[in-house]
Amino acid sequence: MSTNLSRRKTLGLLAGAPVAMRAAASRAAAQGLADIARKAKITYGASAGAVIFDDADYRLLYLEHCRALTTDVDMKFDWLRPAADKWDWGPADRLADFALRTGMTLRGHTLIWNENAPDWLKKLSLAQIRRVFDEHIETVVSRYAGKVAVWDVVNEPFWPGHGKPGGYRTGPWYEAFGPDYIARALRRARAADPRAKLAINEAHCERMDAVGKGIRAGMRRLAAHLQDVDAPLDVLGFQGHLQPQLPFDDARFAAFLRRFAGLELHITELDVNDESFPDSIRRRDALVAARYGNFLEAVLAVPAVTTVINWQLADHYSWYAGLARAGQLRSRRAPRPLPFDSAYGRKPAWFAMARAFGRRKTG
Ligand code: G3I
């Protein structure tokens, strides 16, 4: 089979699985997306959570199509540390072990994010928060040293709506250190595992509205500042939660990417919000696919782009499906933001991605 694993090894991982599933594994003769991406010098993968251990068919999709795996929620601060005196390593360890056994590049997401802080953290004094910050990075990065290849050290540093100087997102870490929390986090992470690549991961940069403009300007200033102060930074991650209902301009986004000399660039959370598209599934899937294709063709023309990660693989496991279940989307229909449908069939988006990888000029 055409995964990065040998067929025997894959079937070993599926040992004990129903016959139908082992048959499905043997059937998977067509190329996986990661194989196609690799020829374009792109590492392709997806985020994953514990569900891959319960849903064997979904797990098989990762084995067939991914060379990289990002932890979706399981390495986040609030998931690792449900209480001040409690660490919950189980789910993160399991994903790390899975990535290691299957030869996937593991991306740790995320060490420091000013959102989703647990209540116990918010109740601490600033001095205590500073101690937790250092301890957290040291403990988590050391535990996964040699396993996590890339750390999203800081997630989403900017949110101009918070009204802070420079457009920074506020939250406990920002309040404790000011914007210097970013350089501090990078230095601590480097000290705990000198081999891991260190990334800053940002959202909304693809948007050509005031929010996108503000965040792009922030990222340019931040990258220059981190270089000035010699902070260890290897990678800029751009999430790529594409929002076709908002203004976008792929060529301008690609031009923005070209300005980051000396850094690797990763597309880290790719999906397409289909809320503004028509109800017809055929039409909707075609528009989602077109969005994937156009976006990828523009960004893949940037030589520094080395990695593309989808945020989950199949529609019903998307975070949009979670929002839909919680009644937080405008439409009541099931979102279709990803390359696979809920029966694990390849959607037009899959083929648009494969085409974009196939067309990349390398070398
Ligand atoms: O699993 C619990 C479940 O037990 C509980 O009953 C239910 C009730 O709300 O919540 C479930 O947890 C939810 C979890 O997703 C499930 O995976 C949390 O409430 C919900 O907050 C959490 O949302 C995650 C969100 O980040 C916040 O951490 C999404 O799954 C995750 O996909 C999303 O990922 C973010 C990236 O980290 C950063 N970029 C944007 C991206 C999408 O929002």
CA 72 – ligand 1 centroid, Å: 8
> Which atom of ligand 1 is found nearest the CA of 49?
17
Count other Cβ atoms within 10 Å, centred on residue 330: 7
Ligand 1 atom with the shortest distance to the CA of 47: 32
Q: What is the pLDDT of residue 5?
A: 44
**SS3 for 152?**
strand
**What structural domains does the chain harbor?**
3-359 (3.20.20.80)
**Shortest-distance Cα residue to atom 8 of ligand 1:** 326
Tens-digit pLDDT profile for residues 21-34: 444 444 344 789 99
Please tell me the predicted confidence (pLDDT) of residue 23.
Answer: 40
Tokens encoding 337: 């933001």
Tell me the C-alpha distance between 228 and 338, whole Å: 39
Question: From atom 22 of ligand 1, which residue's Cα is the shortest distance away?
Answer: 73
Backbone dihedral region for residue 146 (phi beyond 0: left; psi -120 to 50: alpha; all else: beta): left
Residues having CB within 6 Å of any atom of ligand 1 = 49, 72-73, 76, 116, 155, 203, 239, 269, 319, 322
Residues of the chain with pLDDT under 70: 1-29
Structure tokens at 257: 């990417």
Q: Whose CA is nearest to atom 34 of ligand 1?
A: 72
Sign of the C-alpha dihedral computed for residues 215, 220, 221 and 225 taken in this order: positive
Ligand 1 atom showing the smallest separation from residue 109 Cα: 37
Looking at residue 10, its pLDDT comes to 52
Q: Ligand 1 atom closest to Cα of 110?
A: 37
For ligand 1, atom 29, name the residue with the nearest CA: 319
* Cβ–Cβ under 8 Å, residues 315 and 341: yes
Q: What is the pLDDT of residue 332?
A: 84
Give the Å distance between the CA of 267 and the centre of ligand 1.
20
Which pLDDT does position 13 carry in this prediction? 53
Ligand 1 center to residue 26 CA distance, Å? Answer: 33
